Chains A and B, each alone.
Chain A
């Protein structure tokens, strides 16, 4: 019954937290670096979105411990997140933002 404490055994400690913080900062730096480079907007958008997703996943997975926690928390959060992203994409398509 008491599965809310199961993750205690495996969940990360301070060292890992700091490592992840360093990675997050680096990824942010790369994003900003990419912004200041002279590359095509499409390539830049791709790289920045990719890095942003990585940062998002790191924070959700490790800082919010979703990677170690009960799956049901993930499902309930992912439901909202996926619907939100789908509606964002659909709205952008409907307003011709993706093709403009």
Chain B
């Protein structure tokens, strides 16, 4: 109630209650800042209950003003009061004050300043005013007490009213008697928040509670901390990938499943816990399923460890029977009745493969609600759609409808939204208006929104499914399961009776699978297998999973890990594999990190690895916004997306380290979701620590600011930041805002969007993310790293690409030869397993596809054909990519362009040649035809040597790392694992190799060609004597391909060729420039001789000369005299020309 104004309103100086004889001669003004300061000095000192200048102090004055107005109202009645005093027997009643005064109802007292310190500032206050002030303070403190107690009581009432409250005792009892107990209850029964507290109350002190999602760890820790009244204590903590609030006093910790598994990796028996709660087991996440498997095996070794499995009421018997018929405590959900309305969509005329979702059925529901339910009856609508595209298909028409009727606020909800936008679904709609939330299945279990009365269920979900053959992630649309349908329906009945509209027929529902497909049957299992190997749980094929994965997925994963070098041929972890198992990242990204640190490229590689491990920071809206696109352009790198991300991150760090610049704004202008950059920074730091831990990176000490002054300065800054953070946390508990109905077009928004700091508390204008960032990271160090990365030399850049290329290998695609004559938007690519893939729209090459074309080359007959097919060029490129994502098309995501020939020579798992090595086939699908045999052989030889070099350096690095871990910190000051000079030499050689210019053609073999690639096993087994060419290995006949296996990847002379040539025919007379040897030799033999020629100058690797820019088409250098037997003529021919010539005679 607004207090009515009395008197002149402004001057509460005249307190009418008891006009004192010595009333102030002048006007007393409580509003005068000096007056207030005087009292604050006296009462709100550093030691006092309320401190000067605090938020509390402001609250007090507000209260004070209200109290004064209130007392002005009441005084008149006051005087007539008198007391009767009947005698009472009980002594407690005997001395009750006769005359009522509200202050007798207050159970505390405040000492006046004079009572505490006679010399203090209180001396100068008029006693009358001081006592008035004290009374007000008393009332204020009483008010605060009542308020806080009210919250406490409410909290307990709510807890007691939860369905699970009736079962707490029972659960504890069960847990006494059994090792494993299953608690099954639907969302809203309170199991996730209450069971941990029952355990706490029962005296358990080492409780871990796993959650599938990081967000849940944080929010549950907060909630449970709050409810168990240790919100600001430390009994309840959480631990997630980047943060931990755990301390010695922590009794219960919420952590992710992944983290618990890592703890088990170190100590399988989990000695640090007494009770383990595994929440949301019904979601059947990969890690959760695996955890259950490990637990099942581990429990006999830890009979004292208690396990609580918490599940929705889905398939409970599965979990119970997996743990030897563990008892089940089933808690009924608290659901109000829900009416189900089936509204199957009549078979719509399939409009052009129905690319876009028809929004009409959804609009009809909105209309139906408007017609049937008066707007005063509150209740919001939650619409489940299969994916983001479907959400946007409905969003627009729904918003149009909303702005027409003014009765709806339409909000999207999916995981790619910014956090702030996601939060909007929790805001409230103004009276008479309903929220309509268009959501993916994120709202099925992860996000709980109150106040939903209507649910529309499309019956569809898009899920990543994994094709192990193609190693391809597909986002596909499926019918949901009955369990999901029930879950969705249930969202309508949490706050009152509800209605669920199912946009499918009841018969469809009956045909749904009972449960969703567990993740283990849908996704790639590389990471899981790697983890299983590192935890030594035995052969993944025989591991007793609660439900086993498809055998093909397991086999693919094992094969993949062998391909990637993480497992050896006996499927044991290799050194690199065991390192990879400890890096919580994708295998390819882990490899990048390891390779990068070897070449002293750790800083940029750390950033890139982090960037590739989080969701893209580029917001979708910005794609359609040309302004965003333009401001972003300078950050783009035409080398590839990871480099763009590197630029974005580095520039962002730059912006952050410049005083007074607002990184939030900077990001917004460029259509960048800043939150992702914070995640990158966190991840980057974690990677760095991992590399340091594993001795791959010298733990560079932060360059301490030298003098004590700057240290002090720095400490002060940090203190200020802590203070900011603390104050922010005080004011946390985001208040719900009222949404605005859209006026017209600009969609929905909360007041927050416009008012900015005006509508929020002053303390809230702080960018808390920025504060946390600056507290967590050493900005100076980051900044230094960023600037060094920005100053990457061309060589470093090339090396970086090599590192990425090797890490990502074999994820690469070849541009279609006709791309150069295609429209920019029609560029297509082929991978080994998949033809006709396209660049993801976010990819930097979509704007400049020409950088991927082999722009060449007048030299070879300009026969008018404008395609790259068979085109000779030294600049063919491949696109290596981080992932292949299939939605409506197969997309290459996060691409880098790399030189084709050199990369294939360095990375291919299988490299096959013809007799003179002018024709190479990489991994059985890419054919390279080199113009010149001699340079082909040289390049091949150089690549062999480089690979061996690189491999041994890497092996030693990893072995060193493994040894270091064994010996532990025995010797801190060890020399670098692989010596600096060696790495420098290797880098130099690699760079020279990469820049070598050789003309060649590149094409993808057709299926038929690929089938008939090899000559097959040969009866003649005379090995070619090519000493030195292929190192010291003695080639042996290849059992299946034919030809000779030179190394584990290189097979010489196994390719069939139409002009079935014997290498002998290519012998020509040749004189060694070093020793003067003169005899007919094949090019191969020549190289072999040169490599071993005793007179040859040692040192410079033969491949190096190749690096000298050398125009491959220059005739003279390569032409040799040639005598043709067929036509009896002498020519001056290059080896290729010889081939061509000979072909005429066939």
Partners in one complex: no
The chain A residues found within 8 Å of chain B, CB to CB, are none
